[in-house]
């Protein structure tokens, strides 16, 4: 059910509520966390939306922003502020509690607001909403309903950014004009389908019988495979061991037509991860890997590979699992190549079980962390999502940022020439994914192919949302072709058209 939108002239009817306040330029999961927290603090939630001004860098009017909040149905009432005077509004509404985002803590005028609230017997609460890395949507709605809502949100996001299907398809067709080098850790992922036999009599452990296994290319390897399958030219620069698993890597790269610039390091095994599955549910994973930094001899060989292919590339993608391939020296060489040959740089660092920081990638064209990785890099677990994103952009100097939010999709940030940052949230289009392991790899591949071939970041992000939805439909990382991606975009047509003609 949508929230009711009222003008400030009706504020006297809202006395005694819980009051939220903000601009809400683009409603994203960070705002939703804040609103849900405020919703639980009282029986009636009113959200005041700041008005329009000529100096505002945001493209959406107060009415458009209010309508977006109304569609969420979290607040009871959305109030359109007339003069952006919060003191006057508090005087009229007399809220029992004013809930502000953490970003308002640094506002110099907030002490005056707190005193005013206290004088009227009210209180002020700062909160960004609880951080969650999982979804509970399926507990409160059906899969079909969730999927339909996600498609509508996606269509609205595209409409806001003036993105159409034809433009997305044209962008995909241009992927073939670029050449990209992918640098990072190559992984072999093996999935073992098992039958559950029960509990062991000798120890409290689950016993399974292995039935069948299948092997996939992972890590930097699958990023390169995606890029190639999408029509671009791609070379993989990586390190593998001198073992039987390395032979699998070579064969798969050849089959997938990925340029093989991979070096052998006898001191480490090829990174190998095996997942045991029963009825499409993962039980556990066993990893065989080394995390030590490359020795000088292997590092020299990687540098030579980069110097050889760098001048012929349009961009370099770093897929870093923090297993030792991306050394400080190699990163320095990448930066020098980018400056000398005007290359775009794309960075994705995964530290779910390793120690690493995305903040080491300075002045990149695009960084793609998830929220947890961003918070680790900034040592910040308390600030709101918007603050975390803006802070990471400022600290790294990146031109673009994709903040990945798992089941909530992702937010794209673009640093404009005037220094301002614009953003747009895109939902995760798959409501009940089978295997989320490859979503980030597929997103990274599309962003690199799109931006190096000249597309704008928002159109490329819309394509990446579609790509990620395809990637999580099947168990294991499989390269997604250009034709499959275009076909999926056309599948969205009914929802897309209904949203564009509302």
pLDDT tens track for 15-42: 999 999 988 877 777 888 888 889 889 8
Same-domain check for residues 109 and 181: no
Tell me the pLDDT tens digit for each residue of 246-276: 999 999 999 999 999 999 999 999 999 999 9
Count of structural domains within the chain: 2
**Comparing 107-111, 335-339, 492-496, which segment has the lowest mean pLDDT?**
492-496
- Is 411 a member of any domain? yes
Integer CA distances (angstroms), 444 to 166, 319, 368, 435, 469, in order: 22, 9, 7, 17, 13
Q: Give the pair of three-digit tokens for residue 477.
A: 């990382």
Is 208 a residue whose pLDDT tops 90? yes
CATH code for the domain of 382: 3.40.1190.20
Measured distance CA(499)–CA(14) in Å, rounded: 32
The answer on 353 and 298 residing in a single domain is yes
What is the reported pLDDT for 138?
42
Q: What is the pTM of this model?
A: 0.82
Is 104 found in the same domain as 188? Answer: no
Using DSSP's 3-state secondary structure scheme, residue 145 falls into helix
Tell me, yes or no, whether 492 lies in a domain.
no
With respect to residue 68, please indicate whether it lies within any of the assigned structural domains. yes
Query: 298 and 185 share a domain?
Result: yes
> Which domain does 39 fall in, by range?
4-130
Residue 56: pLDDT over 70: no
pLDDT of residue 59: 66
Residue 500: inside a domain, yes or no? no
Domain endpoint, select from 74, 99, 130:
130
In a domain, 170, yes or no: no
- Output 329 or 418, whichever has higher pLDDT: 329
CA nearest neighbour of 337 among 365, 368, 298, 303: 303
* CATH assignment at residue 93: 3.40.50.620
Regarding whether 414 and 304 lie in a shared domain, the answer is: yes
Are 75 and 201 members of one domain?
Answer: no
Determine what percent of the chain is predicted with pLDDT higher than 70. Answer: 93
Pairing of strands 259-264, 344-349: unpaired
**453 belongs to a structural domain:** yes
- Do 192 and 119 lie in one domain? The reply is no
pLDDT at residue 438, rounded to an integer? 87
pLDDT in tens, 274-293: 999 998 888 989 999 988 99
Residue ranges of alpha helices (H) inside 174-293 are: 220-229, 244-255
Do 478 and 361 fall within a single domain?
A: yes
Residue 498 lies in a domain: no
Within-domain flag for 378: yes
Q: Please answer whether residues 138 and 146 qualify as being in contact, where contact means their C-beta atoms are separated by less than 8 angstroms.
A: yes
pLDDT tens digits, 437-481: 889 999 999 999 999 999 999 999 999 999 999 999 988 899 999
What's the mean pLDDT in 344-363? 90
């Amino acid at each position: 059910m949508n929230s009711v939108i009222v003008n400030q002239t009706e504020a006297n009817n809202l006395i005694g509520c819980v009051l939220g306040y903000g601009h809400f330029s683009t409603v994203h999961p960070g705002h939703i966390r804040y609103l849900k927290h405020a919703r639980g603090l009282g029986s009636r939630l009113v959200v005041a939306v700041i008005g329009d001004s000529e100096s505002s860098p945001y493209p959406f009017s107060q009415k458009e922003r209010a309508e977006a909040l109304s569609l969420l149905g979290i607040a009871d009432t959305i109030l359109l502020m007339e003069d952006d005077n919060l003191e006057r509004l508090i005087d009229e509404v007399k809220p029992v509690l004013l809930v502000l985002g953490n970003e308002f803590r640094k506002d110099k005028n907030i002490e005056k607001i707190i005193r005013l609230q206290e004088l009227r017997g009210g209180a002020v609460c700062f909160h960004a909403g609880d951080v969650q890395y999982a979804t509970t949507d399926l507990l409160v709605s059906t899969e079909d309903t969730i999927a339909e809502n996600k498609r509508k949100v996606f269509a609205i996001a595209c409409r806001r950014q003036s993105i159409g299907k034809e433009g997305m398809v044209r962008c995909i067709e241009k992927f073939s004009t670029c050449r990209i080098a992918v640098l990072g850790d190559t992984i072999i992922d093996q999935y073992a389908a098992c039958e559950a036999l029960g509990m062991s009599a000798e120890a409290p452990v689950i016993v399974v019988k292995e039935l069948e296994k299948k092997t996939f290319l992972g890590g930097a390897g699958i990023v390169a495979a995606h890029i190639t399958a999408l029509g671009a030219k791609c070379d993989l620069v990586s390190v593998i061991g001198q073992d039987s698993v390395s032979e699998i890597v070579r064969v798969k790269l050849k089959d997938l037509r990925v340029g093989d610039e991979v070096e052998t390091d006898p001191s480490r095994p090829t990174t190998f991860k095996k997942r045991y599955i029963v009825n499409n549910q993962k039980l556990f994973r066993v990893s065989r890997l080394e995390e030590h930094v490359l020795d000088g001899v292997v590092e020299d060989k990687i540098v030579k590979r980069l110097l050889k292919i760098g001048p012929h590339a349009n961009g370099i993608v770093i897929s870093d699992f923090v297993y030792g391939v991306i050394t400080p020296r190699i990163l320095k060489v990448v930066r020098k190549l980018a400056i000398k040959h005007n290359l775009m740089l794309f960075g994705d660092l995964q530290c779910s079980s390793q120690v690493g920081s995305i903040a080491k990638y300075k002045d990149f064209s695009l960084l793609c962390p998830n929220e947890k990785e961003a918070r680790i890099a900034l040592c910040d677990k308390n600030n709101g999502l918007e603050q975390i994103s803006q802070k990471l952009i400022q600290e790294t100097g990146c031109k673009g940022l994709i903040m990945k939010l798992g089941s909530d999709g992702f937010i794209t940030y673009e640093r404009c020439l005037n220094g301002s940052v614009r953003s747009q949230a895109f939902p995760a289009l798959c409501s009940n994914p089978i295997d989320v392991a490859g979503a980030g790899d597929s997103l990274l591949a599309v962003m690199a192919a799109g931006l190096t071939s000249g597309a704008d970041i928002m159109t490329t992000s819309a394509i990446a949302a579609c790509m990620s939805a395809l990637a999580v439909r099947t168990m294991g990382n499989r390269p997604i072709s250009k034709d499959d991606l275009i076909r999926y975009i056309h599948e969205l047509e009914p929802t897309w058209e209904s949203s564009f003609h509302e």
